[in-house]
Amino acid sequence: MFNPESLCGHQRFALSGSPSTCALDVVIVPIPSILFILGSGVILLKSGRSLWHPQVAGGLPKWLHILYAALVFAAFGMGVLEIARDIAADFGVGLLPIDLIAVAFAFLLLAVKGRRRSSTISLLLVVYWALYAIVAVVKVARLHLLETENPTTMKNSNYPSSDLFLDNAVMLGLYISFTIFEMTQLFLVRGIEDKVIKFGAIPTKV
């Protein structure tokens, strides 16, 4: 029988109740990323090369889209930082590397497709960001409890509970903002696609 603790280190913080910080990083937090990777694979197989071809023009303003992509890259960096500090503290990394793969692919979609991604891709991203924000809320809530019940400092851990909480709170804020960005993009792109269906032409400027 699979034991999540086998993917965690020996220095994990003790925390009352459930889920544990180990269960979060092994079982709960990676779920949205796994679903996103599988969903992306299905869409890629069905769409083939057309996935990478421009479909519609418009969506978020260019500057806002650049900011969005930059923040996604920052989230990737935050994920790398968390994993590095987990390793330094002998926490183990669970299945968190899967999140890095998913976020990297999301960034690739934003970079390659830009504002010309289809509503299908936008919907996939909306679902991913929203699900990730939900599990991040659970993790941040548990880490807040940890900070209340069993706080640690640099004296007894290479990754103090306050830093762990702050890093994940920042990532939660990022994923909430990504959800808002992509929901706006989806709304705008669907409006453009409706015009394409109605008038039979793709607008070149929006």
Mean pLDDT of 88-98: 89
Local confidence band at 199 (pLDDT 50, 70, 90 cut-offs): low
Write out the two tokens for 52. Answer: 């990478």
Residue whose structure tokens are 């509970």: 161
Q: pTM for this structure?
A: 0.85
CB neighbour class for 45 (10 Å; exposed up to 12, middle 13-18, buried from 19): exposed
Average pLDDT rounded to a whole number, residues 154-169: 88
6-10, 23-27, 73-77, 148-152: which is most confident? 73-77
pLDDT tens-digit profile of 119-128?
A: 888 999 999 9
pLDDT digits (tens, 9 = 90+) for 28-44: 999 999 999 999 988 88
For residues 175-199, average pLDDT? 80
What are the domain boundaries of the chain?
Answer: 60-199
Are the CB atoms for 116 and 54 separated by under 8 Å? yes
CB 33 within 8 A of CB 101: yes
Q: What angle do CA 178, 184, 186 make, to 5 degrees?
A: 100
